[in-house]
């Protein structure tokens, strides 16, 4: 259907979006790469020449590096485990005939629309505050000593907050996938006497595998970059400094741009490795 | 795969589902309830659920703080303009990819998606520097551009998947009847695409409203939206549960309501059409 004229028109119409995104990607990326090879301390003498690979080696050999990688992994894996497992369970439940399904759906999805700074602050103060938080009341009610959640159990607390935010996303996508499952197959298996665990393992789970993969990949990309939740709650203290937060601190707080940029390059590489897998799946779907 | 079940089973499922739904929703409910309490009731031990003296005092206090209106206005302007601007750039691009596909269309779409995966923290300083150079730091214009750019891939993708569903024959027929490209876009495509464009606007408005990396790092006073306003409550001296709740409720209420209308589009928009 495409004529020559409409082809060139199409190219022109695509141009603004392509050029803008190309600029948005390339300009900062090249600058980050450039800075990562410089000794660049804006508040202490500015750009002081080439650093070679110094920034790269210093970033990975600093005492903060490995703990931050560990923190990042624990948060990402923890949140993924919670959101995927509970997401599947809730999706299966919501797929059953229940009264007021629409309302329950809305209740479950709601946290996704709460802005990260609000959810972090509400959890931090109204639930996890060691004196007046709801958890401390609950603990006292059962005769236990209230916990200073964000300092003594900082990682579980952060994982809990972030999981609460992302559970709706996982549930919604898994629910969409569950609803496309052919019920005849399940009924046949049920009539053949397959117990529910077998039906789940051999029919439901394989059907969901694609959706689960997508949930994992997309969430990983977003979870690697969580910022507001840590910024507002612990500010990176109590062992909650993730890789992104470490880079943020190097760049903006200690104003060591060279070092921070080298960290940024690591983060970009890491995100790209995950992105490649996601692209493959999305790409296949385009054909 | 919904199937018929016995009423008893349905009752059990309903009970469990409602319990889980309410548990997940509880933090939001609790915030809304607390926003109507006095500061004393808000920290009362044991906590009071509904039997407190309802007051609008917190809302009045938060609204009277001269700055609240400006934060709200900034949020509306930044989220609104960045979304509209993004759509204006994305509609022609998505149109050409959906109706005049070439061999490279798929690669361009995937590449656009890949720009979305660039970790913000990796390019924070360059953007910061560019903003200083151009005098954009703490300006609404700067944030509009950045949020437009980070959401542009999602906007293009969503529009592309909606446009794909419009049969190309209709456009072809219009062209046969002598419609120019402009007429074709304006009078044939746009009316059919309005539901898709509306959903795209809605979801991206929500995403822009809630964005909390660039809005926190590139603003100080003048251009700071609600995300930054709420973050200012994280300092200990701002620790008033009831006022925090009132401010939070006002920051999330409009988006919660919009969000409920966009739940279907959410899946399409955030999985790039990979889950249907």
**What is the per-residue pLDDT across A217-237, written as a single tens digit (0 to 9) for each?**
888 888 888 888 888 888 878
Domain assignment present for residue B257? The answer is no
pLDDT at position A171 over 70:
yes
Reference B91, options B189, B175, B18; nearest CA is: B189
Q: In whole angstroms, what is the distance from residue A29 CA to residue A275 CA?
A: 17
B268 within a domain of the structure (yes/no):
no
Residue A12, in any domain of the structure: no
Q: Is residue A13 part of a domain?
A: no
Res A160 pLDDT > 90: yes
Q: Is residue A28 part of a domain?
A: no
Q: Domain check: are B29 and B43 in the same one?
A: yes
**Predicted confidence band at A3 (pLDDT cuts at 50, 70, 90)?**
low
Exposed, middle or buried, B272 (CB in 10 Å: 0-12/13-18/19+)? buried
pLDDT tops 70 at residue B238: no
Q: Which residue has the higher pLDDT, A20 or A55?
A: A20
Q: Does the residue A60 lie in any domain?
A: no
Both tokens assigned to A167: 């559970």
For residue B250, tell me if it sits in a domain.
Answer: no
Which residues 6+ apart lie within 8 Å of A12 measured at CB? none
- B38 and B141 co-located in one domain: no
CB atoms within 10 A of CB A26: 11
Q: What is residue A49's DSSP assignment?
A: E
Q: Which residues contact A102 (CB under 8 A, 6 or more apart)?
A: none
Same domain, B25 and B40: yes
Q: The dihedral of CA B238, B242, B245, B247: what is its sign?
A: negative
pLDDT score recorded for residue A48: 76
Please check whether residue A81 lies inside any domain of the structure. yes
Mean pLDDT of chain B: 83
For chain B, state the CA radius of gyration: 23
Give B272's pLDDT tier (boundaries 50, 70, 90): low
Which pLDDT does position B116 carry in this prediction? 81
Total tally of structural domains belonging to chain B: 2
The mean pLDDT value for B5-17 works out to 85
Chain A contact probe: residue of B29, B32, B119, B245 with most A CBs at under 10 A: B119
The total of structural domains in chain A comes to 1
pLDDT tens digits, A118-130: 998 889 888 888 7
Q: Do A275 and B117 touch (CB under 8 A)?
A: yes
- Residue A5: per-residue pLDDT: 67
Q: Which of A87, A59, A48, A62 is nearest to A219 (CA)?
A: A87
CA distance A264 to B125: 10
Q: What is the pLDDT of residue A20?
A: 92
Interchain contact, B3 vs A134, CB within 8 Å: no
Span A162-179, mean pLDDT? 90
Residues B210, B108 share a domain: yes
Confidence band of B70 (pLDDT split at 50, 70, 90):
confident
Whether residue B46 is preceded by a cis peptide bond, meaning omega within 30 degrees of 0, is yes
Per CB-CB distance under 8 Å, the chain A contacts of B252 are 113-115, 118
In this structure, the answer to whether residues B157 and B172 fall within a common structural domain is: yes
A84: CATH? 1.10.3720.10
Q: Is the pTM here over 0.80, yes or no?
A: yes
Question: Do B127 and B51 share a structural domain?
Answer: no
Question: Is residue B163 in a domain?
Answer: yes
First to last CA, chain A: 19
Same domain, B33 and B139: no
Range of the domain at A98: 38-50+67-286
Lowest-confidence region among A105-114, A151-160, B46-55, B90-99: B46-55
Same domain, B70 and B200: yes
Confirm whether A232 is domain-assigned.
yes
Q: Looking at the partner chain, which of A122, A137, A227 has a beta carbon nearest the beta carbon of B248?
A: A122
Mean pLDDT of B112-124: 83
Looking at residue B3, its pLDDT comes to 59
Q: Residue A9's closest CA among B191, B158, B180, B103?
A: B180
Return the percentage of chain B with pLDDT > 90, whole number.
14
Contact A166, A84 (CB under 8 A): no
Whether B80 and B124 share a structural domain: yes
Mark whether B36 and B82 lie in a shared domain: no
A41 three-state secondary structure: strand
Whether residues B47 and B83 fall in one domain = no
Residue A9 lies in a domain: no
pLDDT of residue A180: 81
Domain with B197 in it:
65-234
pLDDT for position B22: 92
- Is B256 within 8 Å of A114 (Cβ atoms)? yes
Is the residue at A23 inside a domain?
Answer: no
Please list every residue in chain B whose beta carbon sits closer than 8 Å to the beta carbon of residue A111.
Answer: 24-25, 27-28
For residue A65, what pLDDT band results from cuts at 50, 70 and 90? confident
Question: How far is A59 from chain B, CA to nearest CA, in Å?
Answer: 14
Give Cβ neighbours of residue B58 (< 8 Å, ≥ 6 apart): B35, B36, B37, B242, B243, B245, B246
Nearest CA among B229, B256, B271 for reference residue B68 = B229
Average pLDDT, chain A: 85
Place of tokens 């409409």: A6
What CATH number is associated with residue B146?
1.10.3720.10
Is A280 an interface residue toward B (CB < 8 Å)? no
Distance (Å, whole) CA B152 – CA B155 = 5
B35 and B133 in one domain? no
């Amino acid at each position: 259907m495409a004529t020559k004229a409409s082809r060139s028109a199409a190219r022109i119409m695509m141009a603004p979006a392509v050029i803008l995104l190309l600029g948005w990607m390339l300009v900062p990326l090249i600058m980050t790469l450039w800075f990562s090879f410089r000794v660049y301390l804006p508040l202490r003498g500015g750009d002081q020449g080439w650093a070679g690979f110094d920034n790269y080696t210093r970033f990975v050999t600093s005492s903060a590096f490995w703990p931050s990688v560990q923190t990042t992994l624990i948060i990402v894996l923890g949140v993924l485990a919670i959101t995927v497992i509970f997401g599947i369970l809730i999706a299966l439940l919501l797929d059953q005939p229940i009264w007021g399904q629409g309302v329950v759906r809305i209740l479950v999805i709601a946290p996704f629309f709460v802005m990260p700074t609000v959810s972090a602050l509400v959890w931090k103060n109204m639930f996890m505050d060691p004196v007046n938080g709801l958890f401390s009341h609950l603990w006292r009610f059962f005769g236990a000593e209230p916990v200073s959640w964000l300092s003594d159990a900082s990682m579980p607390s952060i994982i809990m907050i972030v999981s609460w935010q992302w559970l709706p996303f996982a549930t919604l996508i898994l629910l969409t996938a569950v609803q496309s499952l052919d019920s005849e197959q399940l009924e046949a298996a049920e009539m053949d006497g397959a117990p529910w665990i077998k039906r789940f393992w051999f029919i439901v789970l394989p059907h969901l595998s694609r959706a689960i993969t997508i949930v994992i990949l997309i969430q990983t990309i977003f979870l690697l970059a969580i910022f507001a939740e840590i910024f507002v709650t612990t500010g990176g203290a109590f062992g909650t400094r993730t890789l992104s937060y470490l880079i943020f601190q190097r760049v903006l707080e200690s104003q060591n741009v060279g070092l921070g940029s080298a960290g940024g390059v690591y983060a970009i590489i890491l995100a790209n490795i995950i992105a490649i897998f996601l692209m493959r799946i999305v790409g296949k779907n385009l054909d | 795969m919904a199937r018929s079940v016995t009423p008893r089973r349905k009752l059990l499922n309903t009970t469990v589902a409602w319990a889980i739904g309410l548990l997940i929703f509880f933090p939001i409910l609790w915030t809304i309830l607390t926003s109507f309490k006095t500061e004393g009731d808000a920290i009362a031990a044991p906590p009071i659920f509904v039997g407190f003296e309802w007051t609008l005092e917190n809302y009045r206090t938060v609204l009277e703080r001269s700055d609240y209106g400006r934060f709200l206005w900034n949020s509306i302007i930044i989220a609104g303009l960045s979304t509209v601007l993004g759509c204006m750039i994305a509609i022609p691009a998505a149109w050409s990819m959906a109706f005049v596909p070439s061999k490279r269309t798929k690669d361009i779409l995937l590449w656009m998606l890949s720009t979305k995966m660039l970790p913000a923290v990796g390019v924070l300083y360059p953007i910061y520097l560019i903003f200083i150079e151009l005098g954009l730091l703490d300006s609404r214009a700067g944030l509009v551009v950045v949020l437009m750019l980070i959401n542009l891939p999602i906007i293009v993708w969503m529009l592309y998947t909606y446009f794909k569903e419009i049969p190309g024959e209709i456009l072809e027929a219009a062209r046969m009847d002598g419609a120019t490209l402009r007429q074709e876009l304006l009078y044939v495509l746009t009316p059919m695409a309005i539901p898709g464009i509306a959903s795209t606007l809605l979801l991206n408005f929500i995403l822009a409203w809630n964005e909390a990396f660039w809005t926190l790092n590139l603003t100080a006073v003048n251009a700071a939206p609600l995300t930054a306003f709420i973050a200012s409550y994280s300092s200990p001296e701002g620790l008033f549960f009831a006022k925090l709740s009132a401010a939070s409720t006002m920051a999330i209420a409009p988006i919660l309501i919009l969000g409920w209308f966009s739940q279907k589009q959410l899946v399409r928009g955030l999985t790039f059409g990979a889950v249907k």
